[in-house]
Each structure stands twice: as structure tokens, then as C-alpha cells.
Amino acid sequence: MQQPVRISPSILSADFARLGEEVRAVDRAGADWIHVDVMDGHFVPNITIGPAVVKALRPHTDKLLDVHLMISPVDSYLEAFAEAGADIITVHPEAGPHIHRTLQRIRQLGKKAGVSLNPGTPAKMLDYILEEVDLVLVMSVNPGFGGQKFISSQLRKIEAIRKSIDKLGKPIDLEVDGGIDVETARLAISAGADALVAGTATFRGGEAQYAANIAALRGG
């Protein structure tokens, strides 16, 4: 069942020199989760942050830390991110040899397990793992950078995954990541998404705008 939409600001678009303050600001502005993009310069062509930064941010918010791992191999880092205070740990099936085992491991660590599908990865990939996940993250851009254009073919994928989740009848979140603005948020929600990652669209206009930016993505 599609739930009321949750907004997860991506701190990739925040001021990295003031990360703690930025997290507190979006928390106050009504963010539901905080999206943390972890990139290794190998799985994706960009390098961001690691578990030490997740740990440093943890005391700044009680909201769920929605940690998106774009690193490969991923398995050897799960424990570090769990210990650092991640609440949701999302991995890509291409980032290790045994996605089913990786998802089981995340749950064993007491965290919500997410799986993320790149724009070229079919929804079919979920056929034998949907029961092992708490969240599906549909990438609506190729991962690596903020500020890219929403790839509209992903709307069909969101619709297909919404059907699979409802058929299974489990409370699995369906989150969309990349190129989300007021218009694409509306399209993604109509297709069945119930969580939206937004970097550029949250952090634009300075701190005084964050609450209005987040409310607009929710649909007003």
C-alpha cells in the first residue's frame, strides 16, 4: 500500500563545510529522513563520504539516516555503516556477488534493508529478493552526481514495482532518487512512489527556503 510521501533530502547538495547545521536545518524544515550518498570513485565516478561522517552526523538528528551505498564491493562496509548509526542501508545489486545474502546481512545488523535499481536495471531484478527488503530505491538518474535530469522511462518501472509490492502485501517503501523537483515529484507519486530523495530541490534558495521547498515536493 502506498503510504503518505516521505521526503529525504540528499545532503550531497548541502554545504559540506557546515554539514551538522545543514542536517539540523532540514530536520527542522520537515524532512522525514536524511539521505546520505556514499560514493567510492569506483562503482560511481565520484567520491563523497564514509562511515566517520555518518557517525559525526548521527547526534544532529533523530530522523532516519537513509544511507545509499554506491560502493563496490559493498559487503565489507555494512557493519561500519550500521555501527555509525545508519537506519536504512541501501545497496545496488551490481555492487557484490550475492545480493540476497547482502540484504539478509543488513537485516541481521538490525537495519532496514534497501535495494537500489539503476536506470538500466530492470524491475525483474526484484523477483526473488522483494521479501528480503524494506525499501526499493529507483534511480531516476545514473548515480554519481546531484543536479541531473529525471529519466522519465523510470516512471514505468515505479508503476511495475508498486504493483509487485502491493501484490506481496508487505510494508515496503518505494523511494525515487534523482532529478526530483515539484513536477517530477508529482509524476513519481502518481506512478506509486511514497518516498522521494531531493538534493537540489531541497537545498536551493538558502535555509529560509528549506521548509517551503520540502512542502512543495510533498504536493503543497
Give contact residues for Zn ion (rule: CB under 5 A): 37, 68, 177
Q: Is 37 a catalytic residue?
A: yes
The residue number with the shortest CB distance to ligand DX5 is: 199
Q: Smallest distance from the beta carbon of 196 to ligand DX5, in angstroms?
A: 9
Q: Smallest distance from the beta carbon of 42 to Zn ion, in angstroms?
A: 16
Catalytic residue among 27, 134, 173, 177, which? 177
93 binds, among ligand DX5, Zn ion, none (CB under 5 to 8 A by kind): none
**Contact positions vs ligand DX5 (CB under 6 A):** 10, 12-13, 35, 37, 68, 141, 143-144, 146-148, 177-180, 197-201
Q: Smallest distance from the beta carbon of 98 to ligand DX5, in angstroms?
A: 23
| Nine-digit cell string for 188 | 513519481
**Active centre residues (catalytic):** 37, 177
